[in-house]
Amino acid sequence: MESLYLLIPISLVFILIAIRIFFWAVNSGQYDDLDSEAERILFDEADDLSHPEEIEESQEQQKEQQ
Amino acid sequence: MTELSAEHCYHCGLAVPAGANYSQMIGDKLRAMCCPGCAAVAATIVGSGLGSFYKFRSAANTLANETSLELFLDWDIPDIQNEFISQRGQGQQSILLFIDNISCAACTWLIEKHLGKLTGIETVNVNGTTMRAEVIWNPEQLRLSEILNAIHQIGYIASPINDSSDIPEIKDQTRQLLLRLGVAGLAMMQAGMVAIALYAGSFQGMQQEWQTLLRLVSLLFVTPVVFYSAQPFFSNAWRSLKMRHLIMDVPVALAISLAYVASLYATFQGAFQGAFNESTGSASGEVYFDSISMFIFFLLLGRFAEQRIRHKNLLSLNRGNRLPPVTTQVFPPEHYSFEQSEKSARGHRIVPIKTLMEGDFIRVDSGQTIPCDGIIQSGDTQVSEALLTGESNPLTKQAGDAVYAGTINGANPLVIKVSATGSDTKLSTILKLAERAAMHKPRWASLADHVAGWFIGALLIIASSVAWYWYLHDPERALWITLSVLVVTCPCALSLATPTALSVASSVLRREGFLINRSYVLELLPKIGRVIFDKTGTLTEGNLTLRHIEPAAENSAVNKFISTRQILGWAATLEQGSQHPIARALQQYVAGPIEQQQFVTGSGVSGSINGDQFAFGNPKWVAEIAGIELPNNRGQGAQKKDSMHSKGIEVALARNGQWIAKLYFGDQLRESAHPAVRQLRSKGLSVSLLSGDPSPAAAEIVQPLALCDYQFSLQPEQKLQTLQQLQAQGQSVLMVGDGINDVPVLQAADISVAMGQASELSQINADVILLCNDLRALPRAIAVAAKTRRIIKQNISWAIGYNLIALPLAASGYVPPWAAAIGMSASSLIVLVNALRISRGLRN
């Protein structure tokens, strides 16, 4: 049971680190948009799967427009 | 994710009008589109390789309009963009755009990807919660107008904004609450873990030393929760006490502080006893640290959800979109004199509206919003003053007449001498009146705060009599029993009962496009006895559509060879370039160029197509100009200018002095009006219409609806009177409207609902905004509100019932502290889960 005297302070240190990280994350704006960030990863993956020639074509079109 | 049936537009989800033939390949399927606007948007999205957007979106898009670069050229003028742009290093600029119709996460992705493809764009960051996009770009490679046009090409409405307003404040509030919530959550988990050890210890026996250690550890975890996370409860409670008014935060703060102090006392008493006397064990005093942190965490969670919905509603109000134009064409005084006609006046330049001065001369083209109050110097036109007066038919105005800011110039270009700008305009005066009316509206005290008053009273009386009783009989145990009474009666469940249910209900309704601005709406909705639509425009689409074509009888021989398509083509070609509602109704049929086009205000238009002379307008005027007799099959009715009868507005078309056809135009009911009225009536509500429109046209449109009663040609004062009479009879009234002129009437109603297209100010003043313009949201909202009310009642009776059972047990000293803590947490959880039931069974 004496191990508690060591383990509890260690857990306290971890909690402190977790809270520091959480504060840093919130204050640097990572939680400002709670709606779209969660799904963003899905779209980017789908983007890679879509036809590459289509994208090239559209980029050419864009250039022509400009 | 969103599957739409074949006859609905794949992009915006509206019904595809009969005869419309627009479509777009998306993925490997040909999808129907309702209009060229949506088709163009879908083509742009698919064309830039972003077609997977349609797979991921979770809501249909809004109806798209066609766009062109010219619409945004004003934004390239340095004077105008300077206000919004900030300079970054390396020749880059950044701007904040408000994007009006972001509906899901896929929208943010689409906008970022699409803009990111333009050359010159550095970064694009779209925030779906605040509906704002930050764009950093290189102005030498890309103009602002091109950025705005690119966003409009994929169907979103973007406008530059200045975020000096409430956005930073909202961001700070959200972050602050999130931090408090996070701290409470982390601490709750730790304290809960330690509590398991403590509970196990109190069953199996535990040495005083370890018990004290564990108590001290959980004290360490809970102290920041009480002093940091729970701080808003304390400050709210203190503020309400100073104002001598009890709100739910008072018993909450009281419970938190009592439980904390008692646990603190027990911890240290145990520690000292342990040091001096091993044998007393843990007989007296218990700690409630785990319950405190859990209670605070759940309360904060409820508050966070509620705040998010409130902020989202605030942010999604249509800003920017409805603002008057940002620029206008001004003539330097030396270049303009009264003798010159507006065409020969030279040297007008484009300036920001805020630099306009009284006495300036400005030019307002047809279809533009008039930016200031003024007197017409030259030009005659039709002006729609719907924003001010609610009158949807345009008024004829000519030189010498006054025009007002916010009204729309319908027909011909005008030169106006500015008489008032900014806050001196008639529009601003009306807005100020509206704001004043809003302040005088009686507010409903919320149910929870109402309960808080007697709850805290009863609590204190019971606790002190329990303390008194035990002090007389067993002074040793008096303190601990009193404290366990206070903890058992902790108002957790009671204080969670209402807010959790309300925030679940608001978020359910938000998804339906029913934005709640004021918290009392949900409590009041089930009591509503009558729904009043304050103008015909709320039940109808608000624009003219072609109803019927009647080829002229006497020329049947000729007309055999003229198709309906041809008639429409001629009429549309004649009207092209005009902003008149009839011209807009015909827009899609335009077929070719026109020469000698001439608009005559209030009468019609004439011109020549392929060498044939045409006239299109009210029959009497067409007869005059074509030099022919009026067709007599219409009798007297046809003599009236813009005559309204059962078929709508009558417009005649003549070619080379011969009648070709008559076209009838009218407004039409919203698709959702029928089911909405039927559902409202089946709920036992009365539905009425109090309209300011002159009766015949309006009456005919609403005839098919089973309204309880309707009145027409009412002045705002008469509407107010009718409304107050109904309220005096004890009816609660919900009023749906959209005009600024009706704001006093809307304010007098128990609940006011503004339509999505209404002006920004009437939206801010309204209790509810109907974003989707789907009237069926009304009966649905009433159903949700009724369900919410039922659930709040269940929650409150559960909370009170729990207290009633636990209190006598605790007062007689039978409730062990672990049972008190479990009971307290379980009763809060039950309330939470019960609130979540609101969202079940309502989807789809």
3-state SS class at B9 = coil
User: By C-alpha distance, which of A42, A28, A36, A32 is closest to B128?
Assistant: A36
pLDDT at A23 over 80: yes
CB contact under 8 A, A32 and B130: yes
Query: pLDDT tier at B186 (50, 70, 90 boundaries)?
Result: very high
Distance from CA of B792 to the nearest CA of A (A): 28
Q: Which residues of A touch B121 (CB under 8 A)?
A: none
Between B213 and B839, residue with greater pLDDT: B213
Q: Which of A18, A32, A58 sits opposite B49 (nearest CB)?
A: A58
CB contact under 8 A, A1 and B210: yes
Distance from CA of A55 to the nearest CA of B (A): 5
**Residue range B764-775: average pLDDT?**
76
Of the listed ranges B123-127, B221-225, B625-629, the least confidently predicted one is B625-629
CB contact under 8 A, B186 and A11: no
Q: Which residues of B touch A18 (CB under 8 A)?
A: 186
Q: Which residues of B touch A26 (CB under 8 A)?
A: 175, 178-179, 182
A45 → chain B, closest CA residue: B52
A36 → chain B, closest CA residue: B105
**Residue range B385-413: average pLDDT?**
74
Query: pLDDT tier at B181 (50, 70, 90 boundaries)?
Result: very high
Q: Which residues of B266-305 are buried (b: 16+ CB within 10 A; e: fewer)?
A: bbeebbebbeeeeeeebeebbbbbbbbbbbbbbbbbbbbb
pLDDT at residue B273, as a whole number: 67
- CA dist., res. B492 & res. A19, Å (int): 26
Please check whether residue B702 is in contact with residue B689, taking contact to mean a CB–CB distance below 8 angstroms: yes
Q: Which residues of A touch B56 (CB under 8 A)?
A: 39, 42-43, 46
From residue B600, give the alpha-carbon distance in Å to each of B402, B622, B654: 20, 11, 15
Q: How many other C-beta atoms are found inside a 10 Å radius of the C-beta of residue B736?
A: 25
B201 touches chain A (CB under 8 A): no
Query: pLDDT tier at B165 (50, 70, 90 boundaries)?
Result: low
In total, chain B counts a number of residues equal to 844
**Residue range B753-768: average pLDDT?**
69
User: By C-alpha distance, which of B127, B114, B131 is closest to B51?
Assistant: B114
Q: Which residues of B touch A30 (CB under 8 A)?
A: none
pLDDT at B410 over 80: no
Q: Which residues of B touch A42 (CB under 8 A)?
A: 56
> Which one-letter DSSP state was computed for residue B398?
-
pLDDT at residue B556, as a whole number: 53
pLDDT at residue B805, as a whole number: 85
Chain centroid to CA B219? 45
pLDDT at B63 over 70: no
CB contact under 8 A, A54 and B49: yes
pLDDT at residue B285, as a whole number: 63
A51 touches chain B (CB under 8 A): yes
In total, chain A counts a number of residues equal to 66
pLDDT at B643 over 50: no
Q: Which residues of B touch A14 (CB under 8 A)?
A: none
Q: Which of A15, A18, A47 sits opposite B52 (nearest CB)?
A: A47
pLDDT at residue B443, as a whole number: 45
CB contact under 8 A, A46 and B55: yes
Chains A, B: CB pairs < 8 Å: 101
Q: Which of B117, B118, B127 sits opposite A33 (nearest CB)?
A: B127
B710-728 pLDDT per residue, tens: 787 777 778 888 888 888 8
pLDDT at B407 over 60: yes
Most confident of B259-273, B418-432, B786-800: B786-800
CB contact under 8 A, B127 and A31: no
User: What percent of chain B is modeled with pLDDT above 70?
Assistant: 75
Of the listed ranges B139-153, B489-503, B592-606, the least confidently predicted one is B489-503
Place of tokens 């919905």: B309
- CA dist., res. B463 & res. B471, Å (int): 12
Q: Which residues of A touch B129 (CB under 8 A)?
A: 32-36
Cβ-based neighbours of B482, under 8 Å, separated by 6 or more: B463, B466, B467, B470
CB contact under 8 A, B175 and A31: yes
pLDDT at residue B280, as a whole number: 42
Query: pLDDT tier at A15 (50, 70, 90 boundaries)?
Result: very high
Identify the domain containing residue A31 by its residue range: 4-65
Axis-axis angle for helices B475-488, B817-836 (nearest 10): 10
Q: In what order do the strands lie in the sheet with B327-331?
A: B349-352, B327-331, B361-364, B414-420, B373-378, B402-403
Q: Which of B105, B118, B179 sits opposite A62 (nearest CB)?
A: B118
Between B125 and B480, residue with greater pLDDT: B125
Between B355 and B533, residue with greater pLDDT: B533
- CA dist., res. B259 & res. B813, Å (int): 17
Between B240 and B330, residue with greater pLDDT: B240
Q: How many other C-beta atoms are found inside a 10 Å radius of the C-beta of residue B375?
A: 13
Beta strand B414-420 with B373-378: parallel, antiparallel or unpaired?
antiparallel
Q: Which of B109, B128, B210 sits opposite A43 (nearest CB)?
A: B109
Q: Which residues of A touch B183 (CB under 8 A)?
A: 19, 22
Please check whether residue B126 is in contact with residue B180, taking contact to mean a CB–CB distance below 8 angstroms: no
Question: In angstroms, how far is the first alpha carbon of chain B from the final one?
Answer: 13
User: What percent of chain B is modeled with pLDDT above 90?
Assistant: 4
Q: Which residues of A touch B174 (CB under 8 A)?
A: 31-32
pLDDT at residue B278, as a whole number: 45
Place of tokens 């046209």: B697
pLDDT at B342 over 60: no
Query: pLDDT tier at B107 (50, 70, 90 boundaries)?
Result: confident
CB contact under 8 A, B129 and A39: no
Give me the domains of chain B, ranges plus CATH numbers: 1-66 (no CATH), 78-164 (3.30.70.100), 170-315+445-504+786-839 (no CATH), 327-438 (2.70.150.10)
CB contact under 8 A, A66 and B210: no
Residue among B48, B154, B163 with most chain A CBs within 10 A, to mutate: B48
Distance from CA of A10 to the nearest CA of B (A): 12
Please check whether residue B122 is in contact with residue B137, taking contact to mean a CB–CB distance below 8 angstroms: yes
- B313: buried, middle or exposed (CB in 10 Å: 19+, 13-18, 0-12)? middle
pLDDT at B117 over 70: yes
B207 → chain A, closest CA residue: A1
* Long-range CB pairs of A27-32, under 8 A, 24+ apart, other chains included: A27/B175, A31/B174, A31/B175, A31/B178, A32/B127, A32/B129, A32/B130, A32/B171, A32/B174, A32/B175
Query: pLDDT tier at A20 (50, 70, 90 boundaries)?
Result: very high
Side chain identity at residue B56, one-letter code: F
CB contact under 8 A, A22 and B117: no
Of the listed ranges B16-30, B107-121, B250-264, the least confidently predicted one is B16-30
Residue among A26, A48, A49, A61 with most chain B CBs within 10 A, to mutate: A26
A15 → chain B, closest CA residue: B186
Q: Which residue(s) pair with B515 in the sheet? A: B769
For chain B, what is the mean pLDDT?
Answer: 75
Phi, psi of B616 (to 5 degrees): -140, 120
B131 → chain A, closest CA residue: A33
From residue B560, give the alpha-carbon distance in Å to each of B556, B565, B591, B660: 6, 13, 20, 11
Between B321 and B186, residue with greater pLDDT: B186
Q: Which of A4, A33, A59 sits opposite B213 (nearest CB)?
A: A4
Chain B contacts in chain A segment 7-36 (CB below 8 A): 8, 11-12, 15, 18-19, 22-23, 26-27, 31-36
When divided into structural domains, chain A yields a total of: 1
Q: Which residues of B touch A8 (CB under 8 A)?
A: 213, 217
Three-class SS string for B521-573?
Answer: HHHHHHHCCEEEECCHHHHEEEEEEEEEEEECHHHHHHHCCCCHHHHHHHHHH
Query: pLDDT tier at B634 (50, 70, 90 boundaries)?
Result: very low
Query: pLDDT tier at B802 (50, 70, 90 boundaries)?
Result: confident
CB contact under 8 A, A12 and B175: no
- CA dist., res. A8 & res. B139, Å (int): 58
Q: Which of A1, A19, A35 sits opposite B186 (nearest CB)?
A: A19
Residue among B26, B44, B57, B127 with most chain A CBs within 10 A, to mutate: B127
**Residue range B557-567: average pLDDT?**
68
Distance from CA of A65 to the nearest CA of B (A): 10
- CA dist., res. B501 & res. B794, Å (int): 11
Of the listed ranges B48-57, B694-703, B829-838, the least confidently predicted one is B694-703
Cβ-based neighbours of B285, under 8 Å, separated by 6 or more: B262, B265, B266, B267, B269, B270, B480
B448-507 pLDDT per residue, tens: 666 667 777 787 788 889 889 888 888 777 766 776 777 676 666 777 777 778 778 877
From residue B424, give the alpha-carbon distance in Å to each of B166, B301, B383, B413: 25, 46, 20, 24
Q: Which residues of B390-411 are buried (b: 16+ CB within 10 A; e: fewer)?
A: bbbebbebeeeeebbbbbbbbb
Distance from CA of A61 to the nearest CA of B (A): 9
H helix runs in B277-396, sequence order: 289-315, 386-389
Q: Which residue(s) pair with B259 in the sheet? A: none
Phi, psi of B737 (to 5 degrees): -155, 175
pLDDT at residue B231, as a whole number: 92
Of the listed ranges A8-12, B109-113, B631-635, B745-749, the least confidently predicted one is B631-635
Between B181 and B9, residue with greater pLDDT: B181
B177 → chain A, closest CA residue: A26
Distance from CA of B780 to the nearest CA of A (A): 25
pLDDT at residue B637, as a whole number: 40
pLDDT at residue B177, as a whole number: 92
B822 touches chain A (CB under 8 A): no
Query: pLDDT tier at B102 (50, 70, 90 boundaries)?
Result: confident
pLDDT at residue B775, as a whole number: 85
**Residue range B526-547: average pLDDT?**
79
